[in-house]
Amino acid sequence: MRWGREKAPIMTTPETPFEIGKAQVFWRTPENREQRTENRVAIFATGSLVYNALLAARELEKENIPVVVANVHTIKPLDEEKIVSLARETGAVVTVEEHQIHGGLGGAIAELLAREAPTPMEFVGMHDKFGQSGTAQELIEHYGMGAKDVVTAVKAAAARRA
């Protein structure tokens, strides 16, 4: 992945083509001897909140908490192979979406992992609340979907690992 002039990620490039049903890994914290890989967490994000997941990954890297961020741009079909593989690799999962967590990306991944690879999970998204009015950024912060909320969820998921 490359970063554009505005420091925003350029997600679809010749190296990262869009493929229906294929999640893309956009971030993998480089491993080094000081990092404890047992703290690694997989973040599965979709839509505009992929950006917040990437911002959170940058912050977590500063705290030596390694993460993998995958863009799950299609929920049906879901890239079951990649999701299960990353869940097994990391042992903890966070889903990030600007949608109700029930019936969306979080629910779909929870159902998959319950069947294939039970994994501690945290969900960043709408938690069964009525909507409010405001700017997009105000609403993201109001409903706990900002980068700081992703960081908090990653730390909670890592702490729940068996």
User: Encoding tokens for residue 12?
Assistant: 């679809």
Return left, alpha or beta for 65; rule: phi > 0 is left, psi -120 to 50 is alpha, else beta: beta
* Average pLDDT of the residues in 141-156: 96
Instruction: Give 25's strand partners.
Output: 70
* Average pLDDT of the residues in 113-136: 93
For residue 75, what pLDDT is reported?
Answer: 92
- Percentage of the residues of the chain whose pLDDT score is greater than 90: 73
- Is residue 117 helix, strand or coil? coil
| Total domains in the fold of the chain | 1
* Cis-peptide, bond into residue 77, ω within 30° of zero: yes
pLDDT in tens, 21-31: 999 999 998 87
CA atoms of 162 and 159, how far apart (whole Å): 8
CA atoms of 116 and 37, how far apart (whole Å): 22
Residue 8 within a domain: no
Residue 16 within a domain: no
**Pair 9, 67: CB distance under 8 Å:** no
Residue 107 within a domain: yes
* Average pLDDT of the residues in 82-94: 97
Residue 7 within a domain: no
At 77, which CATH number? Answer: 3.40.50.920
Which residue, 39, 95, 48, is CA-closest to 70? 95
Determine how β-strand 121-126 pairs with β-strand 93-100. parallel
Which residue, 114, 141, 147, is CA-closest to 45? 147
Residue 111 within a domain: yes
- Is residue 149 helix, strand or coil? helix
| Domain that residue 69 falls in | 21-160
Q: Is the pLDDT of residue 5 over 50?
A: no
Residue 10 within a domain: no
* Average pLDDT of the residues in 91-109: 94
For residue 115, what pLDDT is reported?
Answer: 98
Q: Is the pLDDT of residue 45 over 70?
A: yes
Cβ burial, residue 131 (10 Å; 0-12/13-18/19+): exposed
Q: Is the pLDDT of residue 3 over 60?
A: no
Residue 11 within a domain: no
CA atoms of 106 and 83, how far apart (whole Å): 12
Residue 54 within a domain: yes
